[in-house]
Chain A
Amino acid sequence: MALEDYRNDMETCRRCSACKFIPLEKVKGFQLVNVCPSISRYNFHTYSAGGRLVNGVALLENRISFSDKFLEVMYNCQMCGACDVSCKYAMDMEVMEPIYETRIKCVEEGHTNPVLDKVINSLRKQGTMVPGARAKRGDWAAGLDVKDCTREKVDVIYHVGCLTSYDKDMRKVARAIVKLLKKAGVDFGIAGNNESCCGGRAYQMGYKADFLNQARKNMEAIKKSGAKTLVTGCADGYQAFKVLYDKFDLKGSLEVLHITEYLDRLIKEGKLKPTGKVKMNVTYHDPCYLGRLGEPYIHWQGKEIPGHIRVFDPPKEFRRGTKGVYQPPRDVLESIPGVNLAEMDRIKEYAWCCGAGGGVNESNPEFSRWTADERIKEAEATGAEALVTACPWCEKNFSDAVKTSGSRLRVYDVVELLEKAI
């Protein structure tokens, strides 16, 4: 699909501003009703989903061009999907899809952000979206004696992800996952230096061709491994494998699970028994690409039926974030003795973004930090000692924010706490 194919969706926008707020049924007070970091930070309607859709049509009609301002607005969006959820409370129209297509169109027509170009260069050359050499990707696993899925048949592939592999502060998450999977007796392997980026973040940034390139390479490798299940601890990776690969008919029958889904299953099957007490008051942050955007892709081919109400033949089921992964991470936390979970105000399908996604982390670190700071304040207000999440990008952004803001919050991944309990 191209931007033109979403014209009807974009023109269905009613300018109601729902995209700026959490679903209105959920509003419990004055504070914390905003759900879109972009308009919350920059205030012009332009930065909201509604503004982006109007501009999407304007672009098609050559009323505006790929100016610097256009690119600035377009790239100052974490692609978190909150607008999509809030809009689709009432409306049958795509919101994120045309926003993705706008970025893709930008890239295809040569209008890019040089900072993001640099990231993509790294992807093309080293197979990673973070600085690092391909040859060093597997270094985190040194001494862990993990099967190499490029050489041995395994049931499960653990796809580590770029940030977890290369960032020294995040490697502990990978090591914790390995420990837990081994403890549960899972037959799993990693690709080590042969692992390559899922491509999901490249897609978010609009580099569709590069994403497809990565996707095809990865699926070839996965098929060769014989693995039926892929597990990842990165929300971006999860959404890429589960949703995007499926969208482009590349996933096949591969079962894709986020590590929290898998651990939840293992705990419920009795294969992991968290018995050690971890006395901690925590709050949980739903990563966008695990939660609302982690909902399975829905294949649909059909057409809009001309008429006075927007219905389709065959009936089209819209993805609205309803079936994202919200409960498994919570169930894992609940299973850890001593952990008390206090929820923030904006959670699950209307969680506030950590700030790192969509290329913002790279192209506008100040905005990324601002977004994270907002979430830190929200987490602190729960009285929790720790902010727990299930994505390395979220964890890293929060950790960095906590350091600079002087907050006393500690930041963990779910698996780190589970590791302590096993």
Chain B
Amino acid sequence: MIEKAKLVKIVGAKNVISEPVTLLEYAEDMSFVNTVKPDYVVRPGGMDDVKKLVKLASETLTPLVPVSSGPPHFKGDTVPSAGGAVIVDLSGMKKIIRVDRMNRVAMFEPGVTFGELIPAVEKEGLRLNMPLLPRKTKSVAGSMLEREPVVMPKYHWDIADPLSCVEVIFGTGDMFRTGAAAGPGTIEEQWAAGGAQKEAAGPSSASWYRVIQGAQGTMGIVTWASARCEIIPRLEDPFFIGSSDLDKIMEVVHWLVRLRLVNECFVVNGSNLAAIMAKRWPGDYRNIRDNLPPWILFFNIVGYEYLTEERVNWQTKDVMDIAQRVGLELTQAMDKVSAFDLLKAVQRPSGEPYWKLRYKGGCHDIFFVTSFDKLPGQISVMYDAAREAGYEVADMGVYIQPIVQGANYHCEFNLYYDPDNQRESDRVRELSTGAVRQLIDRGAFFSRPYGESTGMIMNRDAATVAALHKVKSILDPVNIMNPGKLCF
């Protein structure tokens, strides 16, 4: 066990917590992973603190679990998998370091949430490519490091976007800056020269940010991140297209993204749209859900500086033409739901309580990356599995997000349940494990494995696992970084 005094020496006494109540908060989350209590929670103030923590952990072989978002957590990655762990809670590192309008990039510490960063970038006329309604306490850096899908596929060139550079302390204790941030020069010197820590690849013949992303803190601890931003439109015109025919909806999605006609663009089922938009529970929710078509495509047409209205007008017409080809129509309101209200909602983090918890208090997500042609089959599989498990399928949320400019899709099933109801909880847990297996058989790619299914997912690709171990041996040779996650 690590000596508390040594931790205090690094971060100060008030930033080392050992109270059981607090420790329990980090020992479990809303996923089904085992409860494992950490020994301490420490709150570093900056990179130097983190560096010293890693050095100490390395000397004492103490597992470190980085956490940048506030609770509740959902995926099990912030719960220690090994005993004797120290939680490195970065959620207090809240500096917004720089926002650069000209180069369309922002730089911020890991504790900065969407709610905090959005106003800062908006002041410069910029906006973030955001995930769908992140919770209030969600860290922006954390989201990007998890490769969470974002709602504007047009600006999602690469699965790593919108993350640009990071400053990281590897498990070796070395500080590294990825991409253009590596150097030459300090960050300040780079700024003086006109640099903006925007180019993510490199330096030279490796792109280290890619092995830090998706790593669930197993390679190192990020102490700041930069992210590319987009321009705030001058005019926005959001729309819905609703249908019971998902194939038709997806055909439209393909063309909207392919032709780069829209900004925000995603598909949800009625359950999820109701969950997002309902104000009163449960009446509003059921009312909305039952009056919505099964599938709703949401998209936003925008105009920027040049010929703003003309742009929105012609793009709307072109979108109508596309929709007409499959016999669908655009609308800006569906029953009680206004597209403008949804747009406003998705450009901010979720209000409280977190939208996924409003219905039943708990939600377990099953998500994966898939291809256009495999998606319908996978949705069927999930519905069948849910029915078979006795889950009320009308309650299940579905979220389909085109990503990588339409090269693939994020598909997410939201299983709402009452976490205080053991039967419901067990049912969802069993359904999840079984469904993952079936979905994989139907071509689902669980690129971000969490929780109990991780082993099953990782073990499908022994060669990648072996390679990841080699990478791990470079960046965290003594395996102090969140051991037990992924294949480590």
**A and B in contact, CB less than 8 Å:** no
